[in-house]
Amino acid sequence: MIEVQGVRAGYGDGPDILNGINLVADAGKIVTILGPNGCGKSTLLKCIAGFVRPRAGDVRMSGTAVTNLKAHEKVRSHGVGFVPQTDNVFSSMSVTENIMLGARFVARAEREQRFEALLTQYPALAAKRNRKASALSGGERQLLSLARALIAKPRILLLDEPSAGLSPRMMHEVFEAISEIRAREGICILMVEQNAFEALHISDTAYVLSLGDVAMQGRASDLLADPAMRSLYLGGDAPH
Ligand SMILES: Nc1ncnc2c1ncn2[C@@H]1O[C@H](COP(=O)(O)OP(=O)(O)O)[C@@H](O)[C@H]1O
Ligand SMILES: [Mg+2]
């Protein structure tokens, strides 16, 4: 479980990008963060992952304050898996090598077993396990970055725009994979998304950020039905 309480954050000596964010994400749920470009979604995820230190407020994981822990400490002690927004796959390395990069802290005996289970889960990656990651499609690259996070058996999974740049069909596959992870692993999934309508469909709850504040929050199904939400983020009437 993640609890964010009154988090303010920014970069260097620049202005606050986050103005006091409150958010809760429970285990076994998918929580989505929506909002326009530049409103601070990635910054919030980086605060939770430990790449940006909050200027004020607290981040707790399973009830423990982790606000000032560094990213690698959160990985080790709280099982945080982070898939960043910007290119997160090493093109010149093979699919297998990319996945194994995530296994640094996994006991040797468990590594192979987790690896084989992931290949069974994602046949598209199994078929190209010895190929360079540069040979993958956009959707396969997203699956690869998911697999790299999953090999560490995370208890908290942070995903920054997992469907960015994908065709509608591939977006559907990636969201399907994320739903499956929730069902199979029962872990806490917090994701940032631009594709609001599709993301809300697989989410339990969502937060809409605007200029560093939470503008709206609620159950995903309620937000899907909310007229203000529709006109702002969902392109008018709900698609049929
Ligand atoms: N490393 C950085 N250094 C300075 N400013 C940054 C950095 N990363 C993001 N910003 C600024 O913080 C604001 C929020 O960015 P970001 O969190 O990436 O927004 P979003 O993910 O919602 O598009 C933007 O104004 C952006 O220019
Ligand atoms: Mg972003």
**Residue 117 resides in a domain:** no
pLDDT digits (tens, 9 = 90+) for 108-140: 889 999 999 999 999 999 999 999 999 999 889
pLDDT digits (tens, 9 = 90+) for 183-206: 998 899 999 999 999 999 999 999
Closest CA to ligand 1's atom 7:
11
**How many C-alpha atoms does 107 have within 13 Å on its Cβ side?**
2
CA of 43 to the centre of ligand 1 (A): 6
Going by pLDDT thresholds of 50, 70 and 90, the confidence category of residue 104 is confident
Higher pLDDT, 239 or 53: 53
pLDDT digits (tens, 9 = 90+) for 159-175: 999 999 888 988 998 99
Query: d(Cα 111, Cα 152) in Å, to the nearest integer?
Result: 8
Predicted confidence at residue 240, as pLDDT, reads: 45
Lowest mean pLDDT among 139-143, 209-213, 229-233: 229-233
Query: d(Cα 187, Cα 117) in Å, to the nearest integer?
Result: 17
**Residue 108 resides in a domain:** no
CATH number of the domain to which 171 belongs = 3.40.50.300
**Residue 114 resides in a domain:** no
User: What integer is the mean pLDDT of 204-216?
Assistant: 95
Q: How many domains does the chain have?
A: 1
Going by pLDDT thresholds of 50, 70 and 90, the confidence category of residue 229 is confident
**Residue 75 resides in a domain:** yes
**Residue 91 resides in a domain:** no
Query: d(Cα 101, Cα 113) in Å, to the nearest integer?
Result: 15
Residue 209: strand, helix, or coil = strand
**Residue 165 resides in a domain:** yes
CA of 4 to the centre of ligand 2 (A): 18
| Domain that residue 79 falls in | 2-86+156-233
Ligand 1 atom closest to residue 46's alpha carbon, by position in its atom list: 17
**Residue 100 resides in a domain:** no
The CA-atom distances, in angstroms, between 54 and each of 7, 18, 34, 124 are 6, 9, 20, 39
Query: d(Cα 133, Cα 238) in Å, to the nearest integer?
Result: 37
**Residue 201 resides in a domain:** yes
List, chain by chain if needed, residues with CB within 6 Å of any ligand 1 atom.
Answer: 11, 14, 17, 35, 37-43
